[in-house]
A and B are shown apart, each in its own frame.
Chain A
Amino acid sequence: MLIKLTGGTVYDPARGVDGEVRDLYVRDGRIVDSPNDTAIDKEYNLYGKVVMAGAIDMHTHIGGGKVTIARTLLPEDHRRDPFQRTDLLRSGCGHAAPSTLTTGYRYAEMGYTAGFEPAMLPTNARQAHMEMGDVPMIDKGGYVMLGSDDFLLRMMAQRKDQQAINDYVAWTIKSAQAIGVKVVNPGGISAFKFNQRSLDLDEKHPHYGTSPRAILKCLATAVKALGVPHPLHVHGCNLGVPGNMETTLKTIEAMEGLSVHLTHIQFHSYGTEGDHKFSSGAAQIAEAVNANKNITVDVGQILFGQTVTASGDNMRQHANHNHAHPNKWVCMDIECDAGCGVVPFRYRDRNFVNALQWAIGLETFLLIDDPWRVFLTTDHPNGAPFTTYPHLIRLLMDKTFRNDQLTRINPEAAAMSSLGSIEREYSLYEIATMTRAAAAKLIGLTDSGHLGASARADITVYTEQEDKEAMFAKPDYVFKDGDLVVRNGEVVKVVWGTTHVVRPEHDDGIEKSLRDYFDRYLTMKLENFTMSDGEITEDGRGSLSVHPCSTGGEA
């Protein structure tokens, strides 16, 4: 089957194509070069349409225990957004923490073809994959969480050499079927279990004596040494704390050129100026990001309304429980491995802090020069549900709209923000960069996020409109692996994406220490802990796509 997409205006930053009229050809789920001699089976006339690769959400909480806790906690939120069964689609619910099926449909309806769960606990990886296995339409993957797990902290306290730690990190990636490694409040989730309530970058863990700085360097070094394409994914210390911008700046400095991705940076960019001792640190953070090419960030934009925050950072989630709206919340300590906290939250535009958070996120987007190093996220659902992305894109692309919104927020916050003076508007090329090309590059997906020959035929076609929210909310066509899956913003075919993983090499000797450790301290046997391939593929829908590591590993 050969499909031709004719005459679309193509934005493909991976290949430097900025709004050029091009024909695309698709065969067997992949993009192919122009096959001169072959008959076209199906042609789509895309003259005047905007064509991009399918969008990739590189940080979205779509699978795993804390998401299902959030779902279970908030029946009242689901009731406002039922998703009705159709002849084609299963029923479910939407809004802040949508059901898995609805999640997949709604991502596809916005032109997204991949989403990555950023906080997959080793002990809960099985559940994360089972939930993602029930998310249709898009490709998936997970970053496995380390940094508050007893085994790593114990190794560091015993001054085990970096090679042994690399082996443990590699083993964990494989056993959890992950594509990257995330650290959340380094050491802090563990410290909270010892009744520590905050842990700054250079503070020592009450039991192991390690500092967050040492944990970050250790894990970033391991990820680099293993050749894992995605640099260490960092949710830093002091999330949400006024003045945490200093910690973030020190964290960037501490990396000494090592590549790291700082996630939901908006929540880590706060100063302490002004009457409320709360101010924007976006300018200083953006300056540091601009100056340090080893740093990438995603924003974690907040948007106003009800949502639910779900995080591995139970230390900070517990500290914020007084803000829960509605007033109910969950914290969990998990298996000497990790933790989680779920706090429902309503961001209000008339509230000074929330309004400034909104402005800080937008300032961050607009002050970081390089769209290859800043990613469009709301940290779904923590800043807002992912369904707000078209609105967020409009805020970035349309200064008039943005300034109009600025007049509606808390006036004190608006007055403290530099947002109104920022002229920049994102171009379609820059949006395509941050939501496609750069995201694929960051994660190490060589065959996604672009439209070159041999790429997965994940393609989104829009009608260009003045109202960018309307444009990005409802693509004309979305193709997933060459199948037309969305037409006019509605799912027309249900498909099941693949699960992206990496398999770095490690010395098998690590299993011996782990086996003894599991037998002695944990509640599972080692061989019952590790996930097999069949658990993802045996239902006939799921599949695995193994990506190479630069220093070897299984491919």
Chain B
Amino acid sequence: MTGYHANSNRECNRDMTNKSKAVVWENVPSPFCGIGTDDLSIEVDGTALKVLQNGCSVNSAGFEEPVTDTDPRVGGETVTLEEAVAKAADILRETNLPLVGGLATDVNGMRAALALADRIGAVVDNMNSTAAMRNLLALQSGGWVNTTLAEVKNRADLLLMVGGDVESLFPRFFERCVWNQDAMFVDDTTKRDVVFLGRAPAGDAATAPDGRAAEVLACSNADLPEVVAVLRALIHKKVIRANEVGGVPLASLQILAKKLKHARYGVVSWVAGSLDFAHAELMVQTLCEMIKDLNETTRCSGLPLGGREGDQTANSVCGWITGYPVRTSYASGHPEYDPHVNAAERLLTNGEADALLWVSAFNVERTPPATDVPTIVLGRSGMVFEKEPDVFVPVGTPGIDHSGHAYRMDNVVALRLHKLRDSGLPSSAEVLSAIEHAVM
């Protein structure tokens, strides 16, 4: 049977559960890929999921991860959910500076995490903050001119990818947003100009349907800040006394600068998570300022790719509830944001945090960092730990085990996620709220 109903604007039709036999659901939105893929066809048989159509290495793995453990544990022993919650509350009640980390969950999970953190005076941080901060610091220093996926799909005539392995991290980006057949304002999408600056693409997703390979101006990530600074200078017609920068011929950068200035709607994209060098936020800022400069005469927009493991969701919800992104502390009774002091890793390695509550509902690989402080994990079923946490509660995954909302990388579109199966796993929001009530 096929589960999609026309005009299904009511929840009852989209609670995609049916215990009796295997069902296939169409147009399932994914919380895993960050680019808001919502055309998946998924077969549900009991608790087993299989992506039948439009899968990719990220989404198929995310949906098909089997349910293994469903019982909470305290000290490695199976307990009831109530006992696990009570133990978690006991741990948190005794702390001076608890850390609520991971925060890979949906909007309601994030709301509940912040309510708990507000009550116990915790610091909140997300597992991908080191990457996300490269963008947030650039935003908070200078701002930016950015765009969203449908604009790229329908409008971009030039796409500059800076430094990231887009293809492995966002496998369907090119198929969905660049080589789309129909575009509102681009006559022939196969003629789009795609340029990679830095790392060469890992496969051929960026190759045009007519076989034209993307242009690559290769350099190491460490050289990117210099290369990008020179590109910005060239756009300003500054004289550069060099023949090459970071191995990239100056002439190639001059051509690229010209292309950007002559594009009708250029898009400059980067993957913050791939910019693994010190103070990459400064390079992101240079890119953002370069895009602003280009907008004095033509149109050009940034497209920061990210949003996996709920990092965009975490920062959006934290943004409206506290006024700040994550790395915010409730320790003094009101939110205080500090992107350096409140970094989870620093608080743990410095011995400042004295308990860790780790929420990781999407990816079994994303287990908590090694630490000696008491640790509570709300994790996806199937997580394997090097060191058994004090409390482990297997929780459902948003968009599989319960409904919810997740943000796409462009920070505009929130996806409505649906329940696909009855696994009996609680949502992270339910467990976090229960802990909040037990702490009181």
Using a CB–CB cutoff of 8 Å, the interface residues on chain A facing chain B are 63, 65, 67-69, 71-73, 75, 78-79, 82-85, 90-93, 97-102, 121, 123-124, 126-127, 130-131, 134, 150, 175, 192-195, 207, 318, 321, 324, 327-337, 342, 508, 511, 520-525, 527-528, 530-535, 538-539
Contact = CB atoms under 8 A, between A and B. Distances in A.
B264 A72 contact: no
Given A72-B136, A99-B322, A337-B150, A525 B27 contact: yes
Most buried by A among B27, B142, B150, B155: B150
25 contacts: A71-B323, A78-B323, A82-B336, A84-B333, A91-B335, A97-B323, A100-B320, A123-B412, A126-B414, A134-B321, A194-B185, A194-B299, A195-B264, A330-B143, A333-B147, A333-B151, A334-B147, A336-B154, A523-B176, A524-B415, A525-B39, A527-B27, A528-B415, A532-B11, A538-B403
A334 B182 CA distance: 18
Nearest to A99: B323
Contacts of A318: 145, 295
Interface in B164-190: 176-177, 182-185
Given A65-B412, A337-B150, 7 more contacts: A65-B411, A71-B324, A79-B336, A124-B413, A328-B139, A524-B413, A538-B403
Given A84-B334, A90-B115, A127-B412, A75 B322 contact: no
A334 B415 contact: no
B414 A127 contact: yes
Majority secondary structure, B binding face:
mixed
Nearest to A130: B107
B10 interface: yes
Contacts of A327: 142
A274 B9 CA distance: 57
A83 B333 CA distance: 8
Contacts of B139: 72-73, 328, 330
B8 interface: yes
Interface of B: 4, 6-11, 14, 27, 29, 36, 38-39, 107-108, 111, 115, 118, 136, 139-151, 153-155, 176-177, 182-185, 264-265, 292, 295, 298-299, 301, 315-316, 319-325, 330, 333-337, 403, 405, 411-416
B335 A92 contact: yes
B184 A150 contact: yes
Contacts of B299: 192-195
B320 A75 contact: no
Given A65-B412, A72-B139, A333-B148, A521 B154 contact: yes
Nearest to A103: B320
Contacts of A524: 36, 38, 413, 415
A330 B176 CA distance: 26
A521 B150 contact: yes
Contacts of A521: 150, 153-154, 182-184
Contacts of A84: 333-334
Given A75-B337, A525-B38, A336 B140 contact: no
Contacts of A78: 323-324, 335, 337
Given A126-B414, A193-B265, A532 B151 contact: no
Contacts of A93: 322-324, 334-335
Give 6 nearest A-B pairs by CB, closest first.
A93-B323, A82-B334, A328-B143, A534-B11, A335-B150, A91-B334
A130 to B, nearest CB: 6
Contacts of B403: 534, 538
A337 B144 CA distance: 19
Nearest to B38: A528
Contacts of A321: 292
A281 B315 CA distance: 43
Contact of A71 (B9, B320, B412, B413): B320
Contacts of B333: 84-85, 91
B184 A99 contact: no
